[in-house]
Structure 1
Amino acid sequence: MTALIFDLDGTLIDSAPAIHSVSNAVLTARGYPALSLDEVRGYVGKGAPHLVRCLLQSVGENPDGPLFQPLHDDLITRYETEVEGNTLYPGVVQALEALAAMGCALAITTNKPYRPALAAIAHVGLDRLFPVVIGGDSLPTRKPAPEMVHEAQRLLGHDRALYVGDSEIDAETAVNAGLPFLIYTEGYRKTPLDALPHAASFSDFKALPGLVEHWTWP
C-alpha cells in the first residue's frame, strides 16, 4: 500500500479566487485599494503570515508593523467562513476515489492554517477522503521544512510515500523530506517545469492513479 501526501492550494483546489476575495475584504475594510487576482495568486503558498506581509507591502505599509496582527487575525477569521471561490481541479475526486480503492493512504499537508484548510476541504467535499490533514499552524515549522510531511507519514503509518504538489515550495519540500515528487503542472508554479526536481509530472488527474499503480520503488 502506497501513501500519498498532497499539497492543497494549487494542487487539489484552485483557491486563488477565494484567497483573493478574503485578502481584498481585509484590505478594503481598512480603506486600502483592492488588488488583482494575479497579484494575490503570486502570494499564495507560503502560509498566512507571508500572505499578510505581502498584502501590507503591496499597499505601502510596513509588513512587520502594528497592522500585521489585526490584519492577520481578520484574515484567519474570514478564511474559516468565506469559502466560496475554492474549487476542485478537474478529475480530483475521481482520482482520489481510485487511489483509495487501490488501498492508498491519503493525507494533506498545507501551509494554509489548519482550521481554514479544513473549511476549504469540507467546502469542496474532500473531507471524507483525507483522514490526515496538517495545516501551516499545526507544527512549529511550515513547508518547505520537512516536519509536516514526516508527521503525515507517521500518522498514516508509512515509511514510504509519494509527495504530490504544484509549486517551487512543494519541490523543495519533497527534497527536504526525501520523498519522490509528483508535480501537477496546472497549479501555481512560476518556474519552468524542467528547472524543478521531480520524479514525474501530470497535467490531468486522470493520469495520477496510473502513475501510482505502476510506481517502482528503488
Structure 2
Amino acid sequence: MSAPTIVFDLDGTLVDSCPDLIGTLSWLLEREGLDPIVYDEARALIGHGIKPMVEKALKLKGRGESRDEIEAVYERYIAVYETRLTQETRPYPGLLAALDRFAADGMILAVCTNKIERLARQLLDELDMSRRFAVIAGADTYGVRKPDPAHLLRTIAAAGGDPARAVMVGDSETDIRAAQGAGIPVVAFSGGYTAIPLPDLDPTVILDHYDGLPDAVSRLLTR
C-alpha cells in the first residue's frame, strides 16, 4: 500500500503571495496608463493562473480585447513578477509545522498549482520549500490545469501516490472542483483568495488555521 499523498495548491494555500501578485499587477496597470485595481477586487482574480488574472484585470479597465494585447501585457507582467516572487510572499502560519509532521509520518507531499511550473519552482526554491515536495506541477506541466481533475490525478500519479489515499488542500473553486471531479476529499483553507464563499463550494472540510491540518487530514484518510 502506497503512503498517503497530500497535494497542495500554492497561491493562497501554501503561501500568501497576494502582496507580490497584486503589487506587480498595480505596477503593470500604471505602466499601461490605467488606474490601479482595488486590492480586494484584485484578490478575487487570483486562482486560475497569472494570464487569466491579467486578462480579467485588463477587461475590468476596458482593455484586453485582442489576444495579442493580452499576450504582450502578460509577458511584461511575468518579466517583473519573477524578480519579486518572494519580496513579501511567505508561508502561512502553522503551515511549515504541518508539513514537518506529514513528512515525519512518511506521507508524500506534492504541489498542484495553476501558476506556471517555472515560477512555482522558483518561488518555492527562494523560500527553501521545494525540497519538501515529491512533485511540483504547474499549469503547463501536463497540458491541463485545475479545475480539470486530470491536473490533480496526474500530479498524484507522478508522486507515486494512489488517489484512493490522497487529500487535496486548497483555497478556491479551482482546487475544490478539481478534487471533487477526481473523487478526492478536499480541505479548504479559509485564509486564501476564494471569490466564492467556501460553504457554497461544499468542500469536505473548511480549515481556518494550519494548526488543525494534520488532524483534519488524518480523519479524512481514516474515513
The TM-score with structure 2 as length reference comes to 0.90
Conserved 8 A contact 2:172-2:198: no
| 95 and 118 in structure 1: CA distance in 2 versus 1, 3 angstrom threshold | same
CA offset digits 1:71-109 (Å, max 9, x no partner): 111122223221212121101111101111111100001
Aligned equivalents of 2:221, 2:69: Cα separation in 1: 50
1:144 pairs, out of 144, 147, 150, with 147
| 5 and 33 in structure 1: CA distance in 2 versus 1, 3 angstrom threshold | same
2:203 pairs, out of 193, 198, 204, with 198
Aligned partner letter, 1:81: T
The TM-score with structure 1 as length reference comes to 0.92
- Other-structure match for 1:60: 62
| 194 and 32 in structure 1: CA distance in 2 versus 1, 3 angstrom threshold | closer
> Percent identity at matched positions?
32
Confirm or deny that 1:87 pairs with 2:90. yes
Q: Cα offset for 1:46?
A: 0.6
**Aligned 1:26-65 pairs, distance under 5 A:** 26-65=28-67
Higher helix share: 2
1:156 pairs, out of 159, 166, 170, with 159
Aligned equivalents of 1:24, 1:216: Cα separation in 2: 42
Aligned equivalents of 1:193, 1:72: Cα separation in 2: 29
CA offset digits 1:124-165 (Å, max 9, x no partner): 331121131011122222100012211111111111211111
Aligned equivalents of 2:197, 2:63: Cα separation in 1: 32
What stretches of structure 1 of length at least 5 have no aligned partner? Answer: none
What stretches of structure 2 of length at least 5 have no aligned partner? Answer: none
| 164 and 217 in structure 1: CA distance in 2 versus 1, 3 angstrom threshold | same
Conserved 8 A contact 1:168-1:191: yes
Conserved 8 A contact 1:112-1:135: yes
Aligned equivalents of 1:140, 1:133: Cα separation in 2: 14
Aligned equivalents of 1:3, 1:65: Cα separation in 2: 38
**Aligned 1:47-126 pairs, distance under 5 A:** 47-83=49-85, 84-126=87-129
Aligned equivalents of 2:195, 2:46: Cα separation in 1: 12
Confirm or deny that 1:129 pairs with 2:132. yes
Q: Cα offset for 1:203?
A: 1.1
2:11 pairs, out of 9, 12, 16, with 9
Q: Cα offset for 1:188?
A: 1.4
Aligned equivalents of 1:216, 1:96: Cα separation in 2: 16
**Higher mean displacement: 199-208 or 88-97:** 199-208
- Structure 1 counterpart SS, 2:37: coil
1:184 pairs, out of 168, 184, 189, with 189
State the Cα RMSD in Å.
1.7
Aligned equivalents of 1:106, 1:204: Cα separation in 2: 19
Q: Cα offset for 1:113?
A: 1.2
| 85 and 36 in structure 1: CA distance in 2 versus 1, 3 angstrom threshold | farther
